[in-house]
Amino acid sequence: MTALSPLGGGMRKRFAKILATLGPASRAPDTMRLLHEVGVDAFRLNFSHGSHEDHLANIKTIRSISEQVGHPIAIVADMQGPKLRVGEMGEGLELRYGDTVSVVRSDDASEGAIVHPHPELEKILKPGLVLKFDDGKLQATMISETEARIDVPGLLKSRKGINVVNAVLPMSAMTNKDREDMAFALEHGADWIALSFVQNAQDVIDARKIVGDRAGIIVKIEKPSAVEDLDDILAIADAAMVARGDLGVELPLEEVPVVQRKIIRKGRELGKPVIVATHMLESMIDAPTPTRAEASDVATAIYQGADCVMLSAETAVGRHPATAVAIMDRIITAAEGDPILWEYFEQTTLPHESSAEDAISRSVETIARTINAKAVFGYTRTGSTVQRIARERPPCRIIGLTPDAGTAARLALIWGTHPVVTEDPASFEDMLGRVRDLAKGVGLESGDRIMISAGVPFGVPGTTNTLKIDTV
């Protein structure tokens, strides 16, 4: 089985999606438009940087571009989360291998000591606890509640990050800043909220109380405790991100690829999209081309079944943002042109619920292969049916039809899905007429076989019960 030839009408040539981070290198409206044209399906607003005014300007630009191109573009608001940092270290503290150093909670520099301002960290310091600093460049092991032995030496400077390797911190994944940023993002129509440093399912439950159904929740898996609680976390969240930066600091490096595959697999089982992020084309921050290893890394995520791959500094501050997107697009397209990928999808066994929705979603994949269908048109209010279809990885395009603009924008992040905002049909005959008209608008040709998934009565959430095979 090979991937289908591309459709027109604004449809991508590929199925997996690209999420790009906005920053100084990409926030100009013309650059953002170019990034979308060469492959970006969703933009990430990093609330660790920039003001609300900056983010609002970006949101307005994205919505303007969406109107110009005639289809939704997803907006992901990424919360900073409770990042631990060392305090004021003056000129810096030279950590020497084997030395014993005090670890002190203090707002002021203390000569010869590692200082931090976090009462939550102070509560869990005990012998055996491992602390990493500055993205894992330095490491110490606690030998008492206040003393640590230096394992990996170097110069520790002020405000560098702290990672606690083998403990759950007694703190929420949301800070006061996150709550303010989340309220702002929701007020201005962000489609997805990304939670940083999630430790357990309760963190997602707390966020859901704020977000409700106004946006989808992406959990960033970057803590070992989140990996351990993965099943419960993903059961509540709407999507996951394999945040390999901090995950690679707190886990042994050799375990990160294993965890990545595990998260992708679990996400697909549940029909929850998974984004693979961090260091994907890192060398392109400066260089005009990626390394061969980076190209392989992107392709590996696609072969594993990722719904989306993300660019961070490459598009936020890099010298070649549009080129990075274009190259990522080419890598994905090449991987999806490999019959091995589609054989893997076909042979993967997924758990199914005893529901009409799952019966139809499962049938879509089988029928698409049997009749060489070019597309499936799925009517949906919440996006649920389309996501269930997407998890089956049918070898045809998925056109998500919804009257809800918010649902359509969220679907822009879903594998293989081209969202279209349209009214619910008045009758079965009206549905067929609308789909045939839409089919021509997305590049389908006369004689192409298609499928239509819908719920009767129309417009009622959770009633998907019909699958129609039709010809354009």
| Nearest-angstrom CA–CA distance, 358 and 351 | 10
DSSP state at residue 263: H
User: How many CB atoms lie under 10 A from the CB of residue 288?
Assistant: 11
Q: Is 220 a catalytic residue?
A: yes
Contact 259, 276 (CB under 8 A): no
Q: pLDDT of 393-404, one tens digit each?
A: 999 999 999 999
Given 220, 244, 268, 393, the catalytic residue: 220
At 459, the pLDDT band (50, 70, 90 cuts) reads low
Catalytically annotated residue among 21, 61, 278, 402: 278
Whether the per-residue pLDDT at 359 is higher than 50: the answer is yes
Mark whether 393 is an active-site residue.
no
Is the Cβ–Cβ distance between 146 and 112 less than 8 Å?
A: no
Tell me how far apart the alpha carbons of residues 243 and 147 are, in angstroms, rounded to a whole number: 31
Dihedral sign from CA coordinates of 177, 178, 179, 182: positive
Q: How far apart are CA 380 and CA 400, in angstroms?
A: 7
Note if 123 is an active site residue.
no
**Sorting pLDDT into bands at 50, 70 and 90, what band is 426?**
confident
Share of the chain above pLDDT 70, in %: 97
Segment 113-134, tens digit of pLDDT = 999 999 999 999 999 999 999 9
Catalytic residue among 33, 85, 266, 369: 85
What is the pLDDT averaged over residues 203-216? Answer: 96
> Tokens 């969406």 belong to which residue?
66
The DSSP output letter for 255 is G
Predicted confidence at residue 10, as pLDDT, reads 61
| Active-site residue, selected from the candidate residues 12, 14, 44, 393 | 44
> Is 391 among the residues known to form the active site?
no
Mean pLDDT computed over every residue of the chain: 92
Is 305 or 172 the better-scoring residue by pLDDT?
A: 305
Structural domains in the chain plus CATH codes: 17-81+173-337 (3.20.20.60), 84-164 (2.40.33.10), 352-471 (3.40.1380.20)
